[in-house]
Amino acid sequence: MSQDKPTREQEVEIGKQRDISEHAKNVGLLIPMFITSTVWDAWVVPDQESIEQGENEDSRLNNILDKLVYYMRVQRQTNRSNLLYFPVPLSKEGKSEDVQLLSHLGPLDVGVNKPCITIMTPEEYEDQSVN
């Protein structure tokens, strides 16, 4: 196995992740937060129909973060895992669906014990586990 995994900073620089820490502070999450470009591009960036309904990147990201905080509060009593699966109702092309997302509480980077949360799709997490 290769140990040449990019650092978090490199992932942000090349656009694989986005730092949403400042935005997350607005919902009370004070540790560093990241979201993958897969989730950002598919679900945070609104399509034309969603824009016409008054949605924008901030409102959609707030929706995701609000659901994450809700599920963190609900599940913290029974779930001690660093992984939290949570559905978020989002729309695309006029159709609403519950999008299954995953938050991972882990180290900020290799060799850095500071915690952070990364929001991704369950498939992205599974792909990381294989590598």
Which 3 state secondary structure label does DSSP give 54?
coil
Give the strands of the sheet with 83-92, arranged side by side: 17-19, 33-36, 112-120, 95-109, 83-92
- Answer whether residue 2 is part of any domain: no
In a domain, 3, yes or no: no
Residue at 31 is within a domain:
yes
Total domains in the fold of the chain: 1
Single pTM value for the model = 0.89
Helix (H, G, I), strand (E, B) or coil at 26: coil
- 64 falls within a domain: yes
Look at residue 1 and tell me if it is in a domain: no
Instruction: Read off the pLDDT of residues 26-68 as tens digits, 9 standing for 90 and up.
Output: 999 999 999 999 999 999 999 999 999 899 999 999 999 999 9
Structural domain boundaries enclosing 91: 8-130
What is d(CA 31, CA 19) in angstroms, rounded to the nearest whole number?
Answer: 11
Q: From CA 44, how far away is CA 35, in angstroms rounded?
A: 10
